[in-house]
Structure 1
Amino acid sequence: MQSPYVPDRKDIIWLDFDPKKGREIGKLRPALVLSSQALNQQTGMIICLPISTSIRGGMLEVPLGDALNKPSVVVSNGVQTLDWKQRKAQFITKAKDHVYKEAVLKLATLMGVDQLLS
């Protein structure tokens, strides 16, 4: 018997972001998983960034390249912690290393991590 899927860091997955509130990103969409498989398994939650096909050219967007069948960007300021089982996570593909790194670095800068390290 095959083990059930547990999302892992760098996975691009389908995830249901509804219900949403206000200006949050909603609906069924891809997401980039930031948290480790061990943490995701233990908690039943993932830390992730939504992926959008609405490309606005903002400084917090990270282009996915050819990872999906439509031009898409990781929305690095849209970080969320979600229950991956209840939101029906399904594996799509793995993000390229440079995409993951750029998304995490943009999020870290947004959070002021660079100031903590200096």
Structure 2
Amino acid sequence: MVKDFLIPERGDIVWIDFSPTKGHEQSGLRPAVVVSTGEYNSFTGLVIVCPVTSKHKDYFFKVVIEKSQGGLQRKSFVLSDQIRSFDIKERVKKTTSKVSEREINEILARAATLFK
């Protein structure tokens, strides 16, 4: 399927406009880790992500991304329990880098506990 925009792959760190939001949802333009497969993203034009924050709190669903990993400016945390779906063309602003295989596996494993 040919698209006129870049299709993110699982593990990519993308910048997404999360607004509008309500309550405790992450908002604004922020990095997020793609958890859906490139095949799904290409077929649907959607991307499923978990937002990234730089605020640290001990919390089971937070997965650490060290500053040296993922091309981020500081140590960051993936919120693996705040899974969101977005239209790629309308919401994904850019892809900056990729998390390690260990990090994406940890994100997916923690997210999976929500559905057990």
What is the TM-score of this pair, normalised by structure 2?
Answer: 0.89
Q: How many equivalent pairs are there?
A: 110
Point out where structure 1 has 5 or more consecutive residues left out of the alignment: 113-118
Show the 5 A alignment for 1:2-41. 4-41=5-42
Deviations 1:23-67 (A, max 9, x none): 111110000001111211111111110000111121110001122
Runs of 4+ in 1 over 2 A off after TM superposition: none
Residue of structure 2 equivalent to 1:49? 50
Decide whether the 8 Å contact of 1:9 with 1:37 is kept in 2.
Answer: yes
Q: 1:110 aligns with which of 107, 110, 114?
A: 114
SS of the aligned residue for 1:35 comes to coil
- Measure, in 2, the Cα distance between the counterparts of 1:38 and 1:111: 22
Q: 1:88 aligns with which of 69, 85, 92?
A: 92
8 Å CA contact 1:61, 1:75 repeated in 2: yes
Question: For residues 24 and 71 of structure 1, what CA distance do their matches in structure 2 show?
Answer: 21
Task: Tell me the alpha carbon deviations over residues 52-89 of structure 1, each in whole angstroms, 9 at most, x when there is no partner.
Answer: 01111211100011221111000011001111211133
- Secondary structure in 1 aligned to 2:102? helix
Q: Percent identity?
A: 32
Q: Which amino acid aligns with 1:101?
A: N
Give the Cα separation in 2 of the matches to 1:20 and 1:98.
30
Equivalent position amino acid for 1:47 in 2: I
SS in 2 for 1:90: strand
* Pair 1:70 & 2:74 matched: yes
Q: Gaps spanning 5+ residues in structure 2: where?
A: none
* Length-normalised TM-score, structure 1: 0.87
> Does the aligned pair in 2 maintain the 1:60–1:76 contact within 8 Å?
yes
Distance in structure 2 (CA, Å) of the matches to 1:88 and 1:80: 12
C-alpha separation between the residues in 1 aligned to 2:95 and 2:37? 15
